[in-house]
Structure 1
């Protein structure tokens, strides 16, 4: 015998995932970059600061960290669905991450983003030690040369000061403040 309340809940979640995929398809395009970075994700419309650009959805959980996985907790790694998994790193990103209802991260504009601009985020804001970018290709004015991970970010980094990083990392932030 099936429980109608559980079935209704699953149906709503399935509808929410379909809606998230439609919004992602409307908001961004996966295209080739002009450089050595391969593919990237580009805005399909203008975004204001605070708008969700990409809704992150988990494709599968990973047993261990990989170069394409997202760290969700100390020993929890997941591979996100496209387009989130393709968003490139930048030391001066135009996106930040925030946890979402799907157990993943949403990518939120932290500045005005014009249509056609590549959207990027700082991998160090979800990874304590980042293995995905050993040599950074972002070419930003404040490029660190590598993503490095949360443990390597200066404590006055704008993303840290504003609180746009994975919640599990808050333990290291508050611990280092006590020292």
Structure 2
């Protein structure tokens, strides 16, 4: 059933058997090609099922059909921040016409607490729950590099640097030896 279409853009809203509505390709998309251009409809004061997190404390609702794109634990699209601060959907692999366009909601939101039911993506790599970036294993995060909201990887980098600093301070604590820089300066 075709409810809303953007044939020139290469996608349309259709009913699915298991998930209600979904967005489907009406043409072939190559890997790396922008599938949907994001626009920000309005700012939100909190996270919810259709919210996109565009920075640590900023949530927006995208306009158009992006809020209708379903989650998948093995998505064919990823997120790329555009010049307006919205998320574009970019093909991670080729997407044939008539295939559903999907992305992992963890690619945009650090925390996802509003999907209590089991995930219905049907992927062999399904996590059984729709989770946020903070809950993804390291290998999944690595597979998504270049296809996530930039603040997520920036946040992980910042946390890793802070953790390394704490470890270095802890490792040096409790010893009677001066720091390495002081040892090097003694003749």
Shorter-chain TM range is: 0.7 to 0.9
Q: State the shift of 1:86 in Å.
A: 0.5
Question: Contact 2:90/2:147 (CA < 8 Å) preserved in 1?
Answer: no
Aligned to 1:15: none
Q: State the shift of 1:25 in Å.
A: 5.0
Matched, 1:78 2:60: yes
Q: What is the Cα-based RMSD across aligned positions, in Å?
A: 1.9
Question: Contact 2:76/2:103 (CA < 8 Å) preserved in 1?
Answer: yes
- C-alpha distance in 2 between matches for 1:132 and 1:25: 33
The 1:117/1:56 distance shift into structure 2, 3 A limit, reads: same
Per-residue Cα deviation, 1:62-99 (whole angstroms, up to 9, x for no partner): 11112111111111111111211100000000000000
TM-score, length-normalised on structure 2?
A: 0.77
The runs of at least 4 consecutive aligned structure 1 residues that moved more than 6 Å come to none
Matched, 1:60 2:31: no
Question: Contact 2:6/2:12 (CA < 8 Å) preserved in 1?
Answer: no
Structure 2: runs of 5+ lacking an equivalent: 164-187
Q: State the shift of 1:158 in Å.
A: 5.7
Aligned to 2:136: 153
The 1:25/1:66 distance shift into structure 2, 3 A limit, reads: farther
Higher alpha-carbon Rg: 2
Structure 1: runs of 5+ lacking an equivalent: 1-21
Question: Contact 1:155/1:161 (CA < 8 Å) preserved in 2?
Answer: no
What pairs with 1:19-58 in structure 2 (closer than 5 Å)?
26-35=9-18, 37-58=19-40
Matched, 1:167 2:132: no
Q: 1:144 aligns with which of 111, 127, 130?
A: 127
3-state SS of 2:30 partner: coil
Deviates more, 1:166-175 or 1:55-64: 166-175
- C-alpha distance in 1 between matches for 2:39 and 2:7: 10
Aligned to 1:121: 103
